[in-house]
Chain A
């Protein structure tokens, strides 16, 4: 009971430790994974920032180059003097060729805003465009007034292509008179594509370009080019494409900040995936011209996160398995323990039983030893006493010839006593070694009894005892199958006992047939059976007589039982006013007698 309670407590403790380890491991996994995700996100962020910075620098340099090429055109005497001739046109063509990646064309407008030359025109297009009035374009009007370089916002040209323009005024070096502008046209889409091609291809990012007014110069898809980023068209597109709503606000705030010409980045959740958007202004000769945006999904981070989740579940699974195994092992150990306890207690009980039976055997051996000793004592007494008498008489007989008769009788009596004892001891030995042999024959029980009674009547007469030995004559002859000598021995023994314990009165011997067996009873009026002796009446040396070895009844019972009969005794309740005892034994009838009985 106590041990099973301890077992339950131990099981709970093991389960508890397993649970705690699981929780700890889970927390640690979460912490580690967050850390790793963080690191991965940082990686993405810094990569995006580096890329946006690189591209901004490249773009800035390219635009700077365009700007410088424009600037270096203006002091040319051919342009200063407005000499529209082939030589002057070559200057434009060569510049366009050198920056063709970025620029569509280099264009020359006169002081009235009319086209003088556009790079790489052939004869027919020259005829078509020459003199076209572009004096309304800001790239003409503003430098005309400011005499400074001009960087345009997005302008949709006459050919419907959205372009950015950089223009420089042509100012006379000495007079300071405005003589026209040189303009470089940059196709917004070409610009975007150029930038996109510069992106590191394995870095999954997209590019966006706004001018300083928030006009979209480049996106993919291109349909929003030319739209204001805060305009209805783009915003409604955003609200239908971007989830959650907060992300739109975040994006708009980020764009607003970026349009102030600043550098930065932000993380925005785009349809369940975190993206980093980095931005940086493109400056040309110190002037804010454009803002470049690069956005990249934190795919790497989510991959890592998935891996970590996997590892976390795996760890929990392992701990759960270890916990379960520990619980199972503990359970097994406890059940083995229990089984062992059962086995031990069974063995202990068996040992105890064995011990008890050994103790019992030991006790029986002791009793046996004691009986053996008693046998030796009694036998020795029984042998030595008549021997002493014989020894004494045989010497005395010479000194007292006058007592010769009596002494010879006494010697004979004692010799007979020794003989009886010897026979008894031999019988006991035969019984105990199971070598008692019976010479069975058909004998007349009535005859045997009356012969024995006759002998004992003489004995009683000699002993001067007032005992009447009675045996009623039977009408019926009882025949039994028995050893005549042994049967005589039994009856004589019982009669001897009866005479020994009866001082006066009657001894009645009866024989009868009952249940196919002959019953012989010897009933006396003696002192009866001592209650102390009664339980071991048929044991060896259960003597209570003045003379005798105490072997008689033991031998008699063995003889009766060897014949297949039984012997029993009882104290008389009342018989002729005296107590006395009755000994009865049964013996099987002869076959013939049995058949008659049927």
Chain B
């Protein structure tokens, strides 16, 4: 099994640090950014197995980031890390060519093990 690569975008430095550490401990390769613009700038298409987006960032809304990423790499797998009571239905409007599936929202706070479990589930999904 080749090493899976995950991109983590979260404006909270501590979240970024802990998530990155948890994933690396499990053997994933992780790129992480606190600035979504910087992340987009350095985004490599067909490179990441999963893009994990913070739903609420002051610089750029997580869903805007999602749309941008999907424009660059339509087949890339994505999931959301959300702290606020953000519901997927809030964003499932027609501005999305392919709206994020409802099971791709990971609510925090979450235990490290549970987080890993959710990520592995998402990774094992066909699409």
Contacts and interface: CB of A to CB of B under 8 A. Distances in A.
Contacts of A562: none
Nearest to B17: A410
Given A384-B84, A410-B14, A544-B58, 19 more contacts: A376-B85, A377-B85, A378-B84, A380-B84, A384-B109, A386-B14, A388-B18, A388-B83, A389-B14, A391-B110, A391-B112, A392-B21, A392-B22, A392-B112, A393-B14, A395-B111, A395-B112, A396-B18, A413-B14
A414 interface: yes
A584 to B, nearest CB: 26
B56 interface: yes
Given A376-B85, A380-B85, A396-B18, A388 B108 contact: yes
The 3 A-B residue pairs whose C-beta atoms are closest, nearest first, are A392-B18, A389-B14, A384-B83
Contacts of B109: 384, 387-388, 391
B21 A396 contact: yes
Interface in A220-274: none
B84 A381 contact: yes
A387 B11 CA distance: 15
A385 B108 contact: yes
B25 A399 contact: yes
Given A381-B56, A388-B83, A393 B18 contact: yes
A387 to B, nearest CB: 5
A392 B85 contact: no
Contacts of A545: 58
Contacts of A396: 18, 21-22, 25, 112
B19 interface: yes
Contact of A381 (B14, B21, B83, B110): B83
A414 B22 CA distance: 18
Interface string B1-27: 000000000011011011101100100
Contacts of A376: 85
A546 interface: yes
B90 to A, nearest CB: 10
A416 to B, nearest CB: 12
Q: Interface majority SS on B: helix, strand, loop or mixed? A: loop
Contacts of B56: 381
A400 interface: yes
Chain A at the B interface: SS class: helix
A414 B14 contact: yes
Interface residues of B, number: 22
Contacts of A386: 14
A413 B17 CA distance: 14
Contacts of B108: 384-385, 387-388
Most buried by A among B84, B85, B86: B84
B111 A385 contact: no
B27 to A, nearest CB: 13
A380 B112 CA distance: 20
A404 to B, nearest CB: 13
Interface in B45-70: 56, 58-59
Contacts of B112: 391-392, 395-396
- Residue among A377, A381, A388, A546 with the most chain B CB within 10 A? A388
B111 A391 contact: yes
Contacts of A391: 109-112
Contacts of A384: 83-84, 108-109
Nearest to A373: B85
A376 B85 CA distance: 8
B11 A546 contact: yes
B114 to A, nearest CB: 10
B15 A389 contact: yes
Nearest to B34: A546
Nearest to A410: B14
Contacts of B12: 385, 389
